[in-house]
């Protein structure tokens, strides 16, 4: 999902948006992220291109920020929507100073903090999930014996 609106003639620099230390030049939406978006965020957008265009606008307007200062895989949009993203370098794509450009791969949408209060502290939420799954597995193994 490149910026389809911008068509510039005779420019040498590739278009990108700065997000932390990454220079995002492309956005990819996984199928899982598309399903999670429609389930947990909104059913306004039907396909991946519309979601990517919305994310691109969020990036350009600086509405997407890192959830934790030191970690670069969880992001907040409009201080409400929690998104998990990975980055890979685009082969052969560099900015004017030779730094690599990145492809942002949206892995999943975790939900809205305004609706799911557990998302306000992801570390404790994930540890709770691991603990509850472990306890469920232990209960199931006891039943089989």
Report the chain's mean pLDDT, rounded to a whole number: 80
Helix (H, G, I), strand (E, B) or coil at 1: coil
Kindly report, residue by residue over 5-34, the tens digit of the pLDDT: 444 554 545 588 988 888 999 999 999 999
pLDDT of residue 104: 94
Write out the E strands in 4-136.
17-19, 22-29, 64-66, 74-77, 81-94, 100-112
Where b means 16+ CB within 10 Å and e means fewer, 28-51 reads bbeeebbebbeebbeeebeebeeb
**CA–CA separation, 31 and 51 (whole Å):** 11
φ/ψ bin of 72: left (φ > 0), alpha (ψ from -120 to 50), beta (otherwise): alpha
Mean pLDDT of 90-98: 86
pLDDT of residue 10: 43
pLDDT of residue 48: 86
pTM (predicted TM-score): 0.73
Beta bridge mates, 66: 75
Kindly report, residue by residue over 29-63, the tens digit of the pLDDT: 999 999 999 988 887 777 888 999 999 999 999 99
Does 81 have pLDDT greater than 60? yes
């Amino acid at each position: 999902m490149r910026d389809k609106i911008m068509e510039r003639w005779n420019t040498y620099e590739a278009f990108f948006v700065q997000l932390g230390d990454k220079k995002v030049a492309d956005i990819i939406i996984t199928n899982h992220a598309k399903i999670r978006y429609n389930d947990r965020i909104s059913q306004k957008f039907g396909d991946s291109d519309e979601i990517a265009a919305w994310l691109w606008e969020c990036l350009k307007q600086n509405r997407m920020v890192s959830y934790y200062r030191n970690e670069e895989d969880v992001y907040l949009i409009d201080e409400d929507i929690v998104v998990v993203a990975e980055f890979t370098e685009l082969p052969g794509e560099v900015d004017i100073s030779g730094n690599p450009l990145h492809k942002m791969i949206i892995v999943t949408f975790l939900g809205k903090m305004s609706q799911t209060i557990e998302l306000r502290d992801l570390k404790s939420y994930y540890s709770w999930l691991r603990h509850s799954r472990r306890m469920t597995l232990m209960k199931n193994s006891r039943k089989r014996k």
